[in-house]
Amino acid sequence: MGMKPYNEPNIIPVNTVMNATINSMAVQVYNAISFGIQVFFTGTPTGNFKLQASCDSAINAISSGNYSGTNLPTNWTDVANSTFTVSAAGNVEWDYDAPGFNWVRVVYTDTSSGTSTAIITSSTANIKGF
């Protein structure tokens, strides 16, 4: 089954405060040729961003058009060499070719002990399929 290129904005809600662990929405990359993810933030974050991948089935979500509830993945693994440590306002970006997994998400781990006032201002996944 082919997939058209698409852009998924706000995979982390705008104005999310970066003072705890944050998991973005699960983004389906089944049949994707490549994807890119960008996250922008203000303030002074203290923590790390990384990607996690899941090989849980994407077939049910594709056929039903249901991207929520029981069709979402539950098994996640850290993507090697995807971690960015952040300590100032800015952005992070990942480009990934030929993913062998079905889902991807961004995880932010706060190391400020909950005191950070940094804020997510934009987070977008861009998926190129065939």
Q: Is there a domain that residue 64 lies in?
A: yes
Q: Is there a domain that residue 39 lies in?
A: yes
Q: Is there a domain that residue 129 lies in?
A: no
Residue span of the structural domain in which 52 resides: 6-124
**Which pLDDT belongs to residue 6?**
82
Burial string for 69-79 (b: 16+ CB within 10 Å, else e) reads eebbbeebeeb
Q: Is there a domain that residue 101 lies in?
A: yes
Query: Number of folded domains in the chain?
Result: 1
The model's pLDDT over 56-82, given as tens digits with 9 standing for 90+, comes to 987 655 544 545 445 789 999 999 999
Q: Is there a domain that residue 108 lies in?
A: yes
Which parts of the chain register pLDDT below 70? 1-4, 59-70, 130
28: tokens are 């389906």
Q: Is there a domain that residue 63 lies in?
A: yes
